[in-house]
Structure 1
Amino acid sequence: MLISLMDDTYDSHATIEECRLLNAAIQRWDESATSLLPNYLQRFYIELLRIFNEHKREVAIRDTYHVAYARKVFQDLSAYYLQEAEWLHQNHKPSFKDQMSLSAMSIGSPTLCIGLMVGMGDLVTRESFEWAAGYPNVTISCGKIACLMDDIAAFKGGKAKGDITTSIECYMVEHRVTSAVAISKILSLLEDDWKTLNQALFQHHAQLPMVRRIINFANSMPLFYAEKDAYTFNIHLKDTVESLFVETIPM
């Protein structure tokens, strides 16, 4: 919820000056920074601090450092969102490589990979969190899978006003090719990232519980982005949800 609210704020609602102030407050992570913000962002910021403090109380005392790592990657995500807002404000057209590097992080999946581990208790160690918070290839590939599938779904559905340049558009402009060629290239990159996830199972034995959780999270992406952007327009999930939880299974 917090990530979606922050994403929408940076993308659609805040001015560039407000985006800069919000990021400055999130990097400070202190109630004293509330006064930096306009009233509507003060409410978000106070709730953000409250929820993270509540999470610290909910985990075992020995696991409070889990929340500290989640906070760190949330702060990183804010900086990525600000970079996107700055590009849009400056009408900057990034290269395909630069756009992919940023979008793989700003999609939020690497952040969520850490957040999903906060309540895992003894299954994960401080070393595991340190490894994951350093954004190894497996978390970056998870982010790439999410952003590339999102870009394909969004491109097919039509770009909304104010959206940043997608990877498909960057590739088309940079290489002067059609959308069909660009999408074909994106699909081949997706294959490479799925292979990276599979390889991680064999390369990171000490971090296996975290790797499995990251891969399980990545495996959910086709549910949201296989055909249409069902994350943004959740009506597209209606039939799937009904088939799983509402309709009876014929015997």
Structure 2
Amino acid sequence: MTQEKWNHEGYIPTMEEHMELTFISSGYKYTLASSFADMGDVITDDTFEWAFTNPPLVKACCVHCRIMDDIVTHMERQHVASGVECYMNQFDVTEQHVYSVFNKKVEDAWKEMNREYLIRKDIKMPIVMRVLNLARAMDVLYTNKDHFTHVGEELITHIKHLLVDDIII
């Protein structure tokens, strides 16, 4: 609703407004939670409670996913302003500068996820790995171009290697 209003009014939100709204609307946290469904007895009610309190691991993963998405999709959007546009407008900087800042944010999110991976003792390792694997999937889908929206030979090859081709050791 808010994004629709912003688009209708031609409003470009601040970076903080954009991140606050898109952190929720992007659905990464919900994608993560739904991916727990096939994990059997490893998952408990506590797992979902943990995930929805935005612990540092989940938050870093969601920030990573949101920023990766914003980097490669901002030019294609015909509706609400992307994070890149919000940042450029708020701080009066070039697109290249925003890419540098956002790539640093992606790097920082990876550092936070790796730190959490090493110190988390209260969460079972398969759950931690599920969070990291969502971030890894985003790297495949959104590094250098939007492979999610525009499926091409590169993504098809990744999927074939993963699911079809023999594994060579």
- Aligned partner of residue 228 in structure 1, secondary structure: coil
Q: Compare relative contact order (CA 8 Å, sep 6+) and give the higher one, 1 or 2.
A: 2
Number of residue pairs the alignment of both structures matches = 167
Is the 2:12–2:89 Cα contact (8 Å) retained in structure 1? no
Identity of aligned residues (%): 28
Q: Map residues 129-140 of structure 1 onto 2, 5 A cutoff.
A: 129-140=48-59
For 2:21, the equivalent position in structure 1 comes to: 102
The yes-or-no answer on 1:238 pairing with 2:156 is yes
Runs of 5+ in structure 1 lacking a partner?
1-81
Q: So what's the TM-score if we normalise by structure 1?
A: 0.59
Root-mean-square deviation (Å) = 2.4
Larger radius of gyration: 1
Q: Which stretch has the larger CA shift, 178-187 or 113-122? A: 113-122
5 Å-filtered alignment, 1:66-215, equals 82-155=1-74, 158-162=75-79, 164-208=80-124, 209-215=126-132
Kept in 2, the 8 Å contact 1:96–1:174? The answer is yes
Structure 1 segments of 4+ aligned residues over 3 angstroms from their partners: 241-250
Partner Cα separation in structure 2 for residue 174 and residue 213 of structure 1? 35
Q: 1:213 is matched by which residue type in structure 2?
A: R
Q: Which moved more, 1:117-126 or 1:224-233?
A: 117-126
Alpha-carbon distance in 2 for matches of 1:153, 1:190? 13
Amino acid at match of 2:136: N
Counterparts of 1:211 and 1:220, CA distance in 2: 14
Instruction: Identify which range, 236-245 or 174-183, moves more after superposition.
Output: 236-245
Deviations 1:113-167 (A, max 9, x none): 1111123232122222211122222222212211211121124xx32322x2111
For 2:136, the equivalent position in structure 1 comes to: 219
Give the CA deviation at 1:244. Answer: 4.8
